[in-house]
Amino acid sequence: MPTRLSKTRKHRGHVSAGHGRVGKHRKHPGGRGLAGGQHHHRTNFDKYHPGYFGKVGMRRFHLTRNAQWRPIINVDKLWTLVPEEDRQAIEKNSDLVPVIDTLQFGYGKVLGNGQVPQRPFIVKARFVSAKAEYVPPTLLSLSPTYLPLLPVGLKSRKPEAS
């Protein structure tokens, strides 16, 4: 904006430049902080912060938010968590089975929507829906209990010789 159009230029010749003789553009004319939310600043609070005042619902004294944390992923998206180089290795060698730990990728619950790819794989998850828990022939297993964090890796389907 050019200087000639600025507010300071417009106020030249007007003694207090719109800030008054007593207060002189100092201190806190509207009150400190969020003061006046239910009084002289009510229109601002109603317009831009609806629901700021008041209570809703019950109090939960020992609320643990982590218990409700369970980002979801559908069964058809699980295969996208397997890295590309692992997918290529699986296509070459049919004895390899990927182990997918959903928690490592930030997912807490596996849901059963979509088509499962025609490859077996092992899934580790904290929570599994009833629809996803039904194991189609292509899926090896879904573990509803959380197991220690393991990176996506490849396991051989053949039992180890001991």
Closest by CA to 109, choosing from 153, 77, 135, is 77
Is the pLDDT at 113 greater than 80, yes or no? yes
pTM of the full structure: 0.52
Strand order in the sheet with 96-101: 141-143, 122-124, 96-101, 153-156
Single-letter residue type at 135: V
Contacts of 149 (CB under 8 A, 6+ apart): 101, 103, 104
Over residues 52-81, the pLDDT tens digits come to 999 999 999 998 988 888 999 999 899 999
114 three-class SS: coil
Q: Which long-range contacts (CB under 8 A, 24 or more apart) does 137-142 make?
A: 139/75, 140/97, 142/110
Structure tokens at 149: 């964090």
